[in-house]
Every structure is written in structure tokens, then in C-alpha cells.
Homo-oligomer: A and B are copies of this chain.
Amino acid sequence: MKHADRAKSLLLGLFSLIVFLFLWQLLAVWMNSPFLPGPYSVLTAFFRISTAGDIDGYTLSSHAMTSIYRVLLGFLFAGMTAIPLGIFMGLKPSVNSVSSPIIEPIRFIPPIAWIPLAIILLGGITRYVFLIWIGAFFPILLNTIAGVKRTSAVLVDMAKTFGADSRTITFKIVFPSALPEVMSGLRVGLGVGWMCIVAAEMIGGDPVGLGRLIIKYANLYQMDVVILGMVTIGIIGLILNYAILSTERRLFKWRVEVRA
């Protein structure tokens, strides 16, 4: 994109954001409900929670850092399980038939629905990890399988004619060729995992975390902080997504599609 174009689109974006905030403020004034704060109250809440902390004294940044830590832990675990399994399942159709009757229905069980079982079977940080894992696992797994299956047969044949064994083919052909899909699986997985944070922190116990902040202030009927929590989650999610996206762009320069 040209320089001028980019400036123009930034300006347009800023403009539409301002219009949006203005309309929201208008709605808030018009509804005049104690439960629908406008953007101004949310901004005030932002400064209050950022400096003085919430009702238990935790600041916004400590809520955010805790949530990020939990999500990254669960995400890490999801990557460590889903990628090897995905490569295995992509390479061996029989592994696929064995695992899909168990994995497939589990895929559609939402993370919140796992909360009761998570409480019974797990404790401490492992619960958060589990619930984030449940969310992040499947996008990574499915993308890895798809990436492995899309490996060009010619490249595999090529390696075979040099006498490559299956280990070499897996690590030098299949894995690098699936890597773009794996990465986009990781990106989607991190996004989904991040969005599970409210579900994961719904159990309660520890008083800190962005999901907890939302639930706590919903219980206290203070919607300004609830919306603050939502916006914070949205923006951090965006940043995490962007971080992986730009890694992808840097890593896969060789992939012509990514540049288009």
C-alpha cells in the first residue's frame, strides 16, 4: 500500500472510531440507565482501575498480566500437544480413524461446558491451562493436519529418490511445508484460547484476571468496569493476533500467497 493510502485509511479509521464513540455516548445519555455507561465513564473507570486498582486493590495491568500468563501457558501446552499429534494424524490415516470418533464430538463442546469437570478433576493453575487448552487445541490440530496433507507429493517423491528415510521426510519435507498452516493454526488457536479467558476465570477462586474483573463487577452492578474489561480483552486479543501475524509474514516470505 502506498504511503498516502495508508495515511488516508488511518484517518478514515480514526474518524469512524470517533463517530462510533459519539453514538455510544448518545445512546447512553438517551437511555439514562445506571447500567449503561457511556465511553466517558469507561475512560474514567480505566484511569481509576489502572491507578487505584479494583475493589480488591488489583490494578488493570495486573489483571491483564495474569490473564495473559494463563492463556500463554494453556496455549503453549496446546501447541505442544496438537502439533505432534497433528503431524502424526496427517501422516497416518489409521491414527485419524482411531482418534476422530473421540476427538470429533469433543471439538464441539464449548470450554465453559467443561468447567464443572475441570473443577472436579483439576486444581490451581492447571484448570485455567486446561480450559484454554481445550479452546486452542483444535484449531492448531486441524490446521496442522491440513498442512501435512497439503504437502506436495512431488517433494516427498523427490526426497525419496535421494534415499531419504521417513524421519528425514517428516522433519525436512512435511514439517517445513506444513509450517505456514501450523502457524495460522497457532494464531487462530491463540485467539480462541484468549477468548476462553472469561470462561476459564469464571470458576473463581483467585481474585485476579480480566475475566474475573468482568464477573466481579457484573456482580457489583458496575457496568463501567465490565465494559472496560471487555475492551481490554478485545484490544489485547488484537495485539496477540497481530504479533503472530507479523511473525508469519516475516517467516514465510518464501510463500508467495502470504505476500499478496
Contacts and interface: CB of A to CB of B under 8 A. Distances in A.
A213 B20 CA distance: 38
Contact of A17 (B102, B196, B226): B102
A84 interface: no
Contact of A234 (B20, B106, B218): B106
Contacts of A39: none
Given A110-B195, A112-B112, A121-B36, A105 B234 contact: yes
A102 B12 CA distance: 12
Given A101-B14, A101-B16, A109 B202 contact: no
Contacts of A29: none
Contacts of A186: none
Interface stretch (A49-57, A58-66, A92-100): A92-100
A114 interface: yes
Given A16-B98, A100-B13, A102-B20, A238 B108 contact: yes
B234 A94 contact: no
A105 B231 contact: yes
Interface in A176-223: 191, 194-199, 202, 211, 214, 218, 223
